[in-house]
Amino acid sequence: MNIKRLFFAGAFALFVSQISAQTNVIAHRGFWKTDGSAQNSIAALVKADSINCYGSEFDVWLTKDNKLIVNHDASFMGQRMEDSNYEQLQKLRLKNGETMPGLSDYLAEASKLKTKLILELKEQSSAERESEAVKKIVAMVHDMKLEDRMEYISFSKHAVKEFIRLAPQNTPVYYLKGDLTPAQLKEIGASGADYHLSVFQKNPQLITECHQLGLKVNVWTVNNTEDFQWCITNQVDFITTNEPITLQNALKNK
C-alpha cells in the first residue's frame, strides 16, 4: 500500500512539474527593437534585463590580435572580425552610437544586472582559434565572477565540446546547428538542443525525446504569435526572439 502511494505521489509530482514548467524568454542579440538600442549593444543587454528576460543572447568573435569582441556578422562596416585588431574594431559605431563592445566591457555591465548571459561563440576560421577563444572566455568569466550567469551556445561542435570541457561542471552548453539527435547531444555532454524553429516543426518528436533524456529545448528565432503558440503548446523550455515583449504577453495569456 505504501509503495502504491509513493508511486502515485511521484507520478503526480512529475505531472505537476511538467504542466507548470514555464517557457523562458531569451532576447536575441539583446532587446534591440526599441529606442536607443542596437543589436549586440550594451544598451540592448540593459534593456533585456529591464523587461525581466530570462536571458540576453549575444555573439563573440576572436580578433586578429586574439582579443574578444561582441558582434554578430563576420564583418562590420568593411572590417572582418578575425582579420582586424581589437582597437580598430572598437572604433566602429553601432546604430545607436555606441562603439562596438569588447567582451570585457560587455560583461562589466552585465555584472550590474540579473539576466542570464547567453554567449554564442561564432564559428572561427580554425579549431585552434575556437579553442583559444573558449579558453579566454571561460577565464574572463571566472575572473569576473559571472560563472553562475553564463550559458554557452555555438554552431561549432568543436567549440561546444571545448566549453563542456573547460567551463565549470553543470554550466549549460547548447549546440545550434540542428544535425545531432537528442541521444548524440546527451553523449557529448550538451545540455540540450538549441535549434531553429523549422527543425522542431519538421520533427516535433525531438522535443519529447530531449525531455525524456533530461535535456532542455531552446527554439530560435521565433517572432510571431502563431509560432510562439506552437512553441508554448509543445512545451519548449526557452524561446529566443527579436520580440521579447510580445512573447512575454503571449506567455501571460496562454
- The full DSSP string for 153-194 is EES-HHHHHHHHHHSPTT--EEE-SS-S-HHHHHHHT--EEE
Q: Which fold has domain 18-252?
A: TIM Barrel (3.20.20)
- Quickly tell me which residue has 530531449 as its cell: 210
Give residue 236's pLDDT: 99
Check residue 113 and give left, alpha or beta (phi > 0: left; psi -120 to 50: alpha): beta
Residue 61, C-alpha cell as written in the block = 568573435
What SS3 class is residue 220?
Answer: strand
pLDDT at position 9 is 45
Which amino acid is residue 213, in one-letter code?
Answer: L
| pLDDT at residue 21, as a whole number | 67
pLDDT at 5: 53
* Phi, psi dihedral angles at 42 (to 5 degrees): -65, -35
For residue 144, the model assigns a pLDDT of: 99
What does the pLDDT read at residue 254?
82
The whole-number mean pLDDT for each consecutive block of 10 residues of the chain, a chain of 254 residues, reads 49 43 95 99 99 99 99 99 99 99 99 99 99 99 99 99 99 99 99 99 99 99 98 98 98 92
Do 26 and 239 contact (CB within 8 A), yes or no? Answer: yes
Task: Compute the chain's Rg from CA coordinates.
Answer: 19
Q: Please list, in sequence order, all residues whose beta carbon lies within 8 angstroms of the beta carbon of residue 42, skipping any fewer than 6 positions away.
A: 98, 101, 105, 106, 109
C-alpha cell at 85: 585588431
The pTM assigned to this predicted structure is 0.92
Run of H or E including 117: strand 116-121
